[in-house]
Amino acid sequence: MRSVLREGRQWALSPLPDEKLIEAIRLSLDCSHPFAVLLARRGGTSWEILIDPDRQGLHSPSDMPAIERAVDRLERAIADQQRVFVHGDFDVDGLTAAAVLYRGLRPFLPKNSIKVEVGSRHLGHGLSRPFVRRVIDEGFDLVITADCGINNVEEIRELADAGIETLVTDHHQPPAELPAACAIVDPYLAENRYPNPDLAGVGVAYKLVCALYERRRQPAPTHLLDLVATGTIADLVPLCSTSSSENRAIVRKGFSLIMEGEGSSLGLRVLMDKLSVNPKKISTTDISYHVAPKLNAANRAGDPKVAFLLLITELTDQAEYLSEILLDYNRDREIAQNDLVYQAEQTIRTEEMDPQEDGYAFVVGQYWNEGLLGLVASGLADRYRVPAFVLSRGDRVSRGSCRSVGEFDINSCLEAQSELLLQYGGHRMAAGFSAPNESLESLEQGIAAYVSKHQTQITVQASESIDAALSLSDVDMRLYTNLESLAPYGPGNPSPRFLLRDCSFANLSLVGNRRQHLKGHALQNGDEIPFIGFRMGRHLETFEAASKASLICRVGFDDWQSAVQVQGIDLIDEQATDPTSQRRTG
């Protein structure tokens, strides 16, 4: 089939759910038929939880593995007035997890008895040897990890040999050998019976704090949920799954705090104000594309402690100052990232690589900024549609980040090369690693062999889902309000996409600073509605010539005109008469 706008993209409109269920939903909510179809497809007979995730509520922390042992150890630290050192990872999930532990534990421990370290990219993820030596030298009694620790077998053993216990809170896949911690709180442990295995690291830390408050008969620390929501969104964990919608409930509760100005983090509110993020209309997009990158800029182009201090400060002047530092970091990050992307592309051309032919991209640069490797790898993976490995060669050791595509498990790929690596870890779609310089050639050969063996996982094109067919007459304030009830959107609960058939277009114009967006009106059976197609200005002639075209769209709301808008338009082949099958489309 001819590809109209973007080659290789596929859409699928699933068969209709049971019509009796659709009708029952429609009558119960007095909603439109397309919205009832959407709920039936996503929620089945449990559709009410989609409308109100609070119906299911937050799960009890008592179901988390080892949570009772962990609380016992915290109670002993409190009773004996011990010194506690929290170590968080340096990304947004780790920063917010460390902030939640610090704020949650501080009321019960003596002043200045709790210290926090958020690591650095230079030392890698998790506990480092310098951190272990510092804990021992400064005489701490207990280490608590936040969003890390599950892979630190040797470091935790060294702490134990020095008489210092470690309490691990993490959400990463556990290794074959678990660290000798006094308790490991991780939803991926084999004995886990917790209903939500997709908690972010900050979610796990929050559950530990909640369990402590529950043991001490204190009200749950819900004021911390602004931090939990921020880390949950930033870490891209599913907001909904077949077993739980707890992450979505966490985000909704966190957003309610932010909207009312009642969240625990003054610094978060100040940063949002500087970014012109309206707290009254906060969305996952605001966190993902505006707030989280500024917090992450600290570990990519500066000092992650700045971001952590911003999250815990209670002084307005300090919050203003730290926010400005983060914005400076982010400007530096943008400049450095553009330069590194250019260098990576130059390397590919100079060395005559063909990532699409090879099935992967493996790019090495001398002393490249380690904080930007993941961003560059993500860009290469998106451009070439293959797994991308980007490495910074140091004097003796190279550090790398990698990103995946399709169904390819990039963490398993690294695991298959584990004998060549010093460290590695991550998820199916993203991971990091380090390796001796002398092993890089063998490492690339091993990756090439693994990719060749699993090529079908890369080339598989998962269809992008269409939630329901829609008519322009269905697009009104009622539908918009219904869709808002399903927010927040994100992984596991994507923003709904609808199919509009038999459309033509009028009043087309190019808008935006570089005239890259397409604006106009969609017409269907006498109905008309304004739309905007972001970054689709180059397809103006295609839209002008189209008749009886089908669209994939999202329904949004334009504050400027106070009118419902259709946004995020993709035009698909006007010859496509059977959208229930997979086809190449725009």
CATH number at residue 131: 3.90.1640.30
How many other C-beta atoms can be found within 10 angstroms of the C-beta atom of residue 19? 11
Q: Is 260 a member of any domain?
A: yes
Bond from prior residue into 488 cis (ω within 30 degrees of 0)? yes
**3-class SS string, 508-524:** EEEECCCCCEEEEEEEE
383 and 312 co-located in one domain: no
159 and 298 co-located in one domain: yes
369 and 502 co-located in one domain: no
182 and 227 co-located in one domain: yes
Q: Is 286 a member of any domain?
A: yes
DSSP state of 188: T
Q: Is 4 a member of any domain?
A: no
**Across the chain, how many H-helices and E-strands are there?**
22, 19
480 and 395 co-located in one domain: no
Q: Which of these three, 295, 323, 351, is where a domain ends?
A: 323
Q: Is 102 a member of any domain?
A: yes
194 and 278 co-located in one domain: yes
**Contact assessment for residue 488 and residue 283, using Cβ atoms and an 8 Å cutoff:** yes
What pLDDT is stored for residue 9 in this prediction? 56
Residues contacting residue 9 through CB under 8 Å, at least 6 positions apart: 3, 464, 570, 584, 585, 586
Burial of 427 (0-12, 13-18, 19+ CB in 10 A): middle
**Contact assessment for residue 284 and residue 233, using Cβ atoms and an 8 Å cutoff:** yes
Residues contacting residue 31 through CB under 8 Å, at least 6 positions apart: 25, 478, 479, 482
CATH code assigned at 430: 3.10.310.30
CATH code assigned at 525: 2.40.50.140
Residues contacting residue 174 through CB under 8 Å, at least 6 positions apart: 150, 184, 186, 188, 189
- Token readout for 550 is 């089908």
Tens of pLDDT, residue by residue, the chain (586 residues): 222 333 345 677 767 888 999 999 999 999 999 999 999 998 888 888 888 777 767 999 999 989 999 999 999 999 999 999 999 999 999 999 999 999 999 999 999 999 999 988 878 789 999 999 999 999 999 999 999 999 999 999 999 999 999 999 999 888 889 999 999 999 988 777 899 989 999 999 999 999 999 999 999 999 999 999 999 999 988 898 777 889 999 999 999 999 999 989 999 999 999 999 999 999 999 999 999 999 999 999 999 999 999 999 999 999 999 999 999 999 999 999 999 999 999 999 999 999 989 999 999 999 999 989 999 999 999 889 899 999 999 999 999 999 998 889 998 999 999 999 998 877 788 888 999 999 999 999 999 999 999 988 887 555 567 889 889 888 888 888 899 889 898 888 888 888 888 999 999 999 888 888 888 999 999 998 888 887 788 888 988 888 888 888 888 766 544 444 444 333 433 333 333 333 222 2
Q: Which of these three, 402, 432, 459, is where a domain ends?
A: 459
Reference 58, options 183, 218, 170, 225; nearest CA is 225
448 and 505 co-located in one domain: no
The residue to which tokens 């490995």 are assigned: 389
179 and 205 co-located in one domain: yes
Q: Is 44 a member of any domain?
A: no
Q: Is 544 a member of any domain?
A: yes
**CA dist., res. 163 & res. 132, Å (int):** 12
435 and 311 co-located in one domain: no
Judged by DSSP in three states, 505 sits in: strand
- Token readout for 178 is 């678990």
Q: Is 477 a member of any domain?
A: yes
**Contact assessment for residue 387 and residue 401, using Cβ atoms and an 8 Å cutoff:** no
500 and 569 co-located in one domain: yes
Range of the domain at 452: 342-459
Q: Is 26 a member of any domain?
A: no
The residue to which tokens 């990532």 are assigned: 355
* Total of domains in the chain: 3
82 and 218 co-located in one domain: yes
Q: Which of these three, 459, 488, 511, is where a domain ends?
A: 459
450 and 567 co-located in one domain: no
- Token readout for 271 is 């940063």
**CA dist., res. 551 & res. 283, Å (int):** 25
DSSP bridge partners of 390: 363, 401
